[in-house]
Amino acid sequence: MSDFPRWKYWLVAVVMLLGVVYALPNAFIPVPAVQVTANRGAAPIDEAIRQKVQTALEAQHIPTGGVQVRGDNLLATFANTDVQKSGSDAIKAALGDGYTVAFKLQSTVPVWLGAIGARSMPLGLDLQGGVHFLMQVDENDVIDKQETSYADDIRSLLRDKNIRYESVTRNAVRGQGVAVILRSAADRSKASDDIANEYNDLIVSNGPSTDDRFVLNAVIKPDKLRSIARDAITQNLQTLRNRINALGVSEPLIQQQGENHIVVDLAGLQDPAEAKKLIGTVATLQYRPGIGYAGDAASVEAARTGIIPPSANLYYMRGDHRPVLVSKKIIVTGNELVDASSGSDQQSGTPMVSVTLNASGARKMLDFTNANVGKPMAVVYVERVTETKMVDGKEVRTPKTTESVINDATIQGAFGKQFQTTGLGSPKEASDLALLLKGGAFAAPVDIIAEGVIGASLGADNIDKGFKAVMLGLALVLLAAAVYYKLFGLVADIALFFNLVILVAVMSLIGVTLTMPGIAGIVLTLGMAIDANVLICERVREELRNGSTPHASIRAGYEKAWSTILDANVTHLIAALALTTMGTGAIKGFGVTLMIGILTSLFTSVTLTHAFTALIHGHRKLKTLSV
């Protein structure tokens, strides 16, 4: 009789049910859609915007599956990608530059599945189509900037401490820090103590000296250099995310690869030139004295007549495009900004942005604000884009600079290193401003070293071929098992099918992106999963040949085959784990799928088949087995 415990039946039943439920969303094919989001300063998405979009689509006879307002976004669905492109163009023309129009694959998964966390697997670039970039971060530039910053800070410190010095400069060799030349041994000793106390990240040591030149070297600690490099990558990732949002790409993939590379996958985008233009933009900030305020009479009159005071520039506010006069004098720039974060003012409770400057910027800001309390100050956002054109068969790169004001405010009191910008309309506006301040410029230059474009039709062809490969592999394995091992083969086939279902469910639940290497991993998993059942069936047949009873043969088959199955799968699991942790890109995708497949096949090939076998044979007398 069967010795399979009842609790294992319940475990198998629950796992099978959950597998079906969480794999089910992948059966619902997403539809092409366009998502509209309001930019900073634009009117929020509401019924009026929805009606405007609906009217624009109807005017151009573009069929749509519906136009709906969903939270802060507007969503329009279409029958195919060609209609989606036409709909996107029509919506952009109707709404103008105040809104981001993004391509999207809208899920058709029922609401009740979404309520329990069931979702379909996101598709990779090779299945959905789009643009791929591999970018390299120039870490040397980060070191140069940091050493220059420390040189400025040390000069300020020596002036504050009244220590005489001849010069403070970066060493000629990158990474060797700052050389401070002082006029006496006493000055060098005092400077060494003050620099070491003020800057814990510097290693201070005496350099070669003469009778009138006493050298002090301040070198950045290796741990700090590594931290700076990591922070530069992190800030560049955030900057890229901020910029790519303006491209209108839904759910882009932006991630670090290795120590100094960044991978950018823009699914659904088919124009790499537009992406390269935005990604390659060099942005910075300038804090300038304000001549007036946005939209005041003088600014409006200057915009109308074109007559601008000689000491001023006429700019426009980002978002609402109100004119504002700003002085040509620059107080500090974004290169002197250390940090920016959003929050709420403790006294008024209104949204604000807190900004931190380095030593040189803090000194200049303090001097200016101390003399200009009650007067306006503007934050100018400067973008420098390199446009590439073909002239006489040659590639010509031309820089183009655009400037706009992101904020103008009244100076309430003197401040220097840290200050707050208040008067913002909402917490979201404060958060956006903080991102512009902190993430507007790259912490280190990035170069595109590889790029590629995958068409949407090729992605659809990959999906079709991948699906056929999985189905063909599954069918052949099912047929071979059923023919060779008869009833036990059919049980193995049921387990193999549920192995696929549970594998898809787990990948969907944890959000694994499905790619072509992932599909290859699924096919390989299906082929490997049947190995365990082959071992079990062969062990059962051997026990029968040795004269054991059918029930004893089944019991011995599972018990004696288990150690071999476990050993084989552990070695496979180690290989898959190595691919996952050490591989990148396609190799990592293959390894993740293979690792999950090995774990699911251990359950289905042993526990699930044992449950079905016990259910069929466990409660009746047997003379032989169909194996």
pLDDT in tens, 389-440: 666 766 565 656 778 887 788 888 888 888 876 656 567 667 656 655 655 5
Amino acid 325: pLDDT: 92
Region 14-34: mean pLDDT is 87
Question: Which of 152-166, 242-256, 534-548 shows the lowest per-residue confidence on average (mean pLDDT)?
Answer: 242-256
Question: Which of 337-346, 426-435, 495-504, 516-525 shows the lowest per-residue confidence on average (mean pLDDT)?
Answer: 426-435
Order of strands, sheet of 214-220, starting from the edge strand that comes earlier in the sequence = 165-170, 178-182, 214-220, 202-206
Amino acid 389: pLDDT: 65
Beta bridge partners of 454: 130
Most confident of 146-150, 204-208, 586-590: 204-208
CB 330 within 8 A of CB 288: yes
Distance CA 133, CA 477 (A): 39
Closest CA to 39 of 103, 105, 99: 99
Pick 29 or 280 by higher pLDDT.
Answer: 29
Q: Which domains does the chain have, with CATH numbers?
A: 6-25+455-617 (1.20.1640.10), 31-106 (3.30.70.260), 140-225 (3.30.1360), 280-451 (3.30.1360.200)
Residue 35, SS3 per DSSP: strand
Distance CA 422, CA 259 (A): 38
Amino acid 3: pLDDT: 67
Distance CA 72, CA 285 (A): 29
Q: What would the DSSP string read from start to end of 344-405? A: E-TTT--EEEEEEE-HHHHHHHHHHHHH-TTSEEEEEEEEEEEEEEEETTEEEEEEEEEEEE
Distance CA 577, CA 408 (A): 53
Distance CA 597, CA 581 (A): 16
CB 333 within 8 A of CB 285: yes
Work out the angle at residue 482's Cα, subtended by the Cα atoms of residues 481 and 484, and round it to the nearest 5 degrees. Answer: 65
Region 351-367: mean pLDDT is 83
- Which positions ≥6 away from 34 have C-beta within 8 Å? 75, 76, 78, 84, 87, 88, 91, 101, 102, 103, 104
pLDDT in tens, 107-160: 788 888 888 888 888 777 777 777 788 888 877 777 887 887 788 788 888 888
Name the average pLDDT for the chain.
79
Beta carbons within 10 angstroms of residue 148's beta carbon: 16
pLDDT exceeding 70 applies to what percent of the chain? 84
Q: What would the DSSP string read from start to end of 248-284? A: TBSS-EEEEETTTEEEEEEET---HHHHHHHHT-EEE
Region 290-294: mean pLDDT is 85
Instruction: For residue 246, report the phi and psi dihedrals to the nearest 5 degrees.
Output: -75, -15
And the tokens for 615? 């259910």
pLDDT in tens, 543-579: 777 777 777 777 777 777 777 888 888 888 888 888 8
And the tokens for 38? 């309001």
Work out the angle at residue 34's Cα, subtended by the Cα atoms of residues 32 and 40, and round it to the nearest 5 degrees. Answer: 155
Pick 17 or 563 by higher pLDDT.
Answer: 17
Distance CA 167, CA 181 (A): 5
Taking 60 as the threshold, does the pLDDT of residue 388 lie above it? no
With bands split at pLDDT 50, 70 and 90, how would you rate the model's confidence at 456? Answer: low
| pTM score of the predicted model | 0.59
Pick 68 or 131 by higher pLDDT.
Answer: 68
Beta strands per DSSP E along 117-187: 130-137, 165-170, 178-182
Region 46-67: mean pLDDT is 88
Instruction: For residue 343, report the phi and psi dihedrals to the nearest 5 degrees.
Output: -175, -160
Taking 60 as the threshold, does the pLDDT of residue 477 lie above it? yes
